[in-house]
Structure 1
Amino acid sequence: MLEEEFEERNKRNLKLRFGNKDDVVLDVLDFAGQGEYYASHQTYIRKDAIFILAIDTSKDFNQRKKHKEREENKSIPEAVNKNLFLCDRPGVAFTCWSPKDYFYYWLKTIQIHGGSSERIIFIGTHEDEKRKDFNFVHLLNDAMAENLVTKAYSKPIIIDLCRYDEVTEEALTEIKNEICMLINKCRRENRPAKWVTFSSRFEIIKRKYPIIKIEDVLEMIDHFDFEMSDTEVADMLHFFHTSGKIIFFNMSRLQDILILDIQWFIDCFKHIIADRQHVEEDCRIVDVKDQKMLRNFHEKGVLEISLYKKLLTQKGISKQYQNTLGEYQSKLGMMFYVQNYEIDDGSSIDGWYVPSINTQEFKPSNARYRSNESSQILCFKFKDYLPYDFFGRLIVACVNSGHWHPYDFRLCKAGADMCYQKSGNEGEQIYLFTSKRIVTVQFIGKHSEQNGQEVKQEILTIVRQLVQFYSCSTEYELGFLCRKEEGYKENSVNHFVSKRYKFCQGCSQPCDWVDTESFWKEVRI
């Protein structure tokens, strides 16, 4: 039955794609709006995609979303009931945002993972309820000032999809024309007909096998009338990945597996972080240790490895794929593997850190970080935008180096209170922090010159490696905050002082101490 369906589908696709050289086949995807999906949207972002960004013109763009308590589920123990579900809990990475926050999120995500904002069509909805103070052009120009949009848009499309009349039809026609115009600007390349054969085969296979081994692909080739070299197979899979058909990375630990069903992959992640069924079941398990690990995960974002495997087994994922699935999610910035992570009973665990789950607020000690004994605050300022998953990647890279561990388990969503210890030296306290476009580093209390040089070099090396993950140019500048008092705030970026200009925009005055701060002086950009 599958073979007959495959042959019929293959004939249709070949006729559609090669019957007329001007024909174009588009795969349309509607992104989910629930909070638990926001940590995984980058999975679908591709360089050659066209994006339609819909904006509700009836909403106050600066009004932050208030958290609404859901009705308590009596089947879940009260002690953990209020801290379980990502989209229902205050304090996680993607909740309580304003419409403008979400708008900027999408622009940044498209830029970071798609590499450009030139293929975005902006559409305003709810025309009949449009606010009088809503100005689409001003909104886009503000985004352009933040380097989130690369050109001025003088005529965004505003439409009321709740009705269908001549005005609506004209707006829909305009949207179609915009899509056609962007398609014509896209680079077109001829692909072998046998690749289309594989595309059709994958569409059918993924219904039963959402994830397969590369050796299964090679076995398929043996049953076809054509031959393909290993290089051509890799090129074909790379093409399917870049066009959003599959997920495949031709790199160590990932190249032996390919994911055919991207939505299944996303749902696996959602199952781990927010699925109500497994939460209810796991809360009833007798094992006290597992209950404690589950609570720790939903508070701090660290999922012990055995519990991770138990959740995936419950999802029906065989053990042979569980580690690779985690590696793929790590590659895409959804979660990261940590080793020897210390927990509150003094023991350590291996597991997966999911930054989007972490609700811990970073509350540095004012007396400590403002002390004369503490160093000035070293600052990485990113030119246009800081990727949302960057700080999580940075923290995990530090922890996995073996030289860092959190003090009092203080691994927070926007900061970390860390102990740095290397080569048998006495451990030193360091604050790592992020806000808007900056990442900061500060030694707390007494600190040695030797450890200072090691930390500077280690952090700089990690940052240089991490910026290679993203499609766009992620440029940054190294400098300081003008005063310790300006650290650890949402607007700390306004008090960035570069080594070149030595001027603080936030204070509107020069900052001469940059030349005399010997502790950070030898940092090389």
Structure 2
Amino acid sequence: MRKKDQDDIKAFCWLWDFAGQKDFYATHQVFMSKCAVYLLVTDSLKFSTAEKPGVNFEDSAQYVRFWFDVIHCYWSTRVKGRLDPPIIVVCTNEDKFKEPLERQKRQKEFKDNLRQVLKEQKKKLHLRNIYFVSNTEDADVVFEEIRIEISRHAMNMQDWGKDCPFKWLLFQQVLLKMKDSDVPISSTETLLKIAKFEDIGFSKDDDVKQCLQYCHDIGTVVYFDGDKIGDPVILDPKWLVNAFRCLVSDKIENVIKVSDDWQKLTETGELTYSLICRLFMKEPKLKCLENKTHLIEVTTYAMDVAG
């Protein structure tokens, strides 16, 4: 293939904005992928080297350390002396420093503090670059530079440009059509039957599961193949996000807050089955109750992994 042809190839990408509230952190690993470039956005004004026990997410240094730990623990592959997936740190609020010398001083402090946070730890090998930006004052060229940086690191990852069977592409199209037809979740058993239709051409269950795992890795579905969870396949990850939001939210009706189930949750941390059902009823359009068995399995898995 000529270089010009390679440059003309287009690739789809999905952008995920992880919720910043710490209440959602236990669910993040469900959506994380090894086939990703991570932008770690932090407020450089709040960054410090505070060494406090536990995790204090109000402190930016702890925030940065936490996300490096999460990415490093869940997905970490050594490539040419570096670790994938790549992490690009983006520092905001640069417009707060009006004087150039003051801005340079603050940037140096940030890099010195970041070095201390990552000192003598393997997770620092995920770091690719640091950008200091102002969302209100910087020109588009600054953000274009970050976009190019993301593309460059994405194309250097092992899974970029990886060939896959044509029937995988056909199956992905079927999954997307199911999602667009308001089918947010399906069972592995159902999808195994669909994949073996003559128009698609799968013959072995293991090949279908390998394709589903590939779709999970690139972010189009949420799928787990293992002893703990292997049946539900989330065809619309955004739907799962909204379902989690029913459980992790400060918008709880007063009638629920005075229930015995809520009291048990606040006193013992136990989330009862009946309370889960009542919380899912907050968003009837999501049809969570119809899929509550699968949703509970996925939620339990997320909490178990979060530990």
Cα distance in 2 between the residues matched to 1:217 and 1:178: 37
Report 1:441-460 matches (<5 A). none
1:23 corresponds to which letter in structure 2? K
Deviation at 1:234, TM superposition (A): 0.9
Q: Which residue of 2 aligns with 1:58?
A: 45
Q: Which of the two has greater helix per residue?
A: 2
TM-score norm. by structure 1 comes to 0.48
Asked if the contact 1:296–1:302 (Cα under 8 Å) also holds between the matched residues in 2, the reply is yes
Query: Does residue 146 of structure 2 align to residue 172 of structure 1?
Result: no
> Which of residues 89, 94, 98 is equivalent to 1:122?
89
Query: Does residue 46 of structure 2 align to residue 102 of structure 1?
Result: no
Deviation at 1:213, TM superposition (A): 1.6
CA separation of 1:218 and 1:60: change in aligned 2, threshold 3 A: closer
Tell me which of the two structures has the higher relative contact order, counting C-alpha pairs closer than 8 angstroms and 6 or more residues apart.
Answer: 2
CA separation of 1:127 and 1:34: change in aligned 2, threshold 3 A: same
Q: Which residue of 2 aligns with 1:413?
A: none
Secondary structure of 1:156's counterpart equals strand
Q: Which residue of 2 aligns with 1:367?
A: none
Secondary structure of 1:123's counterpart equals strand
Secondary structure of 1:324's counterpart equals helix
TM-score norm. by structure 2 comes to 0.78
> Which of residues 154, 164, 177 is equivalent to 1:183?
154
Aligned length: 281
Report 1:300-379 matches (<5 A). 300-312=268-280, 315=283, 316-318=287-289, 321-332=291-302, 334=303
Cα distance in 2 between the residues matched to 1:48 and 1:327: 24
Cα distance in 1 between the residues matched to 2:91 and 2:61: 13
2:297 corresponds to which letter in structure 1? E
Deviation at 1:331, TM superposition (A): 2.1
Q: Which of the two has greater strand per residue?
A: 1
Deviation at 1:328, TM superposition (A): 1.8
Cα distance in 2 between the residues matched to 1:307 and 1:226: 42
Q: Which residue of 2 aligns with 1:111?
A: 72
Q: Which residue of 1 aligns with 2:226?
A: 251
Secondary structure of 2:46's counterpart equals coil
Cα distance in 1 between the residues matched to 2:56 and 2:238: 22
Asked if the contact 2:41–2:89 (Cα under 8 Å) also holds between the matched residues in 1, the reply is yes
Superposed CA deviations along residues 450-485 of structure 1, whole A, max 9, x for unmatched, are: xxxxxxxxxxxxxxxxxxxxxxxxxxxxxxxxxxxx
> Which of residues 150, 170, 177 is equivalent to 1:197?
170
Secondary structure of 1:206's counterpart equals helix
| Higher-Rg member (1/2) | 1
Report 1:409-448 matches (<5 A). none
Cα distance in 2 between the residues matched to 1:199 and 1:155: 34
Identity value in percent = 23
> Which of residues 210, 217, 220 is equivalent to 1:235?
210
Deviation at 1:146, TM superposition (A): 5.3
Cα distance in 1 between the residues matched to 2:26 and 2:228: 23
CA separation of 1:221 and 1:43: change in aligned 2, threshold 3 A: closer
Asked if the contact 2:257–2:263 (Cα under 8 Å) also holds between the matched residues in 1, the reply is no
RMSD: 3.2
Cα distance in 2 between the residues matched to 1:152 and 1:46: 14
Gaps of 5+ in 2: 78-82, 98-102
1:330 corresponds to which letter in structure 2? T
Q: Which residue of 2 aligns with 1:24?
A: 11
Cα distance in 2 between the residues matched to 1:121 and 1:298: 38
Deviation at 1:313, TM superposition (A): 5.1
Asked if the contact 1:237–1:248 (Cα under 8 Å) also holds between the matched residues in 2, the reply is yes
